[in-house]
Structure 1
Amino acid sequence: MHLILFIGIPGSGKSTFYFQHFFHTHMRVNLDMLRTRNRENRLLEFCFQTQMPLVVDNTNVQLEERKKYIDAAKQHKFKVSGYYFESSLQASLERNAKRTGKQQVSEKGLKAKYYQLQIPEKTEGFDELFYVRVQDNFTFDISPWKDEV
């Protein structure tokens, strides 16, 4: 089975990408929606036990955040794909400003995630890794990962 891990700051297009590409095939695990780690853990375990493909649609900007999902997926013999959402701070701030209600992240919180961002590496345990860039019309450019030389 398959676990997809999204990596990117708020406003980089992760949730929109999920709805465009994985809504009909993968369960969405999202802490904003579930609101507690307990609920998130229970849904993860359900997906692992039932061999349900899933997308973890959180920011996952730090290595330690990603490690728990990757380790659990590997333990359950899931393939792990990472999608890194490249976005400038300014572009993410502009997209975030268009959000309303609870979907909008504070500017301080968004900037904090930006400065915490650790670029993923295949050596973390990913079977495959991709770059995702949002285009002006909310389409996405997806390209294979190229390790830094």
Structure 2
Amino acid sequence: MNNTRKLSRFAPAFMAGVTMLSWAMVADADDTIEIGQDVWIEAGCASCHGSRGQGGTDPDSPAGPSLRTTQLSEDEMFEVIACGRRGVSGMPGWARGAYFEMACYGETPGQVPEDVLLIEAFDADQIDALVAYIFTTFVQD
């Protein structure tokens, strides 16, 4: 029996495995987006960024910036959500252990700056899922 015929016997099983792996990856991605949406709702993100991530600056719009036109990378978005924004922006830090166990903005873990509101409601995986939800749902290329 030549090698081609030997390999062809395994092709259906191999392809079935690849198909199952592909579906598992899609299911994982769908689960991640669903978890991210749950975090979006639980954290009340829409109250500042709008139900469509549109944000706004006029008095009738949400107070937060638009997520649709963000220039942040996914890593930068993670850090903003996890660590919050310093000053008067109103963006709290949502990560458990932010500033204590996790470095924020290149600073050594230690103390939370006085001008940061730290809520510590979510773990890193939940924030990763939220970032995936934001980039899948709102961010426009």
Same fold (TM over 0.5): no
Q: Which has the higher strand share?
A: 1
Higher RCO (CA < 8 A, seq sep 6+): 1
Which is greater in Rg?
2
Which structure: greater helix fraction? 2
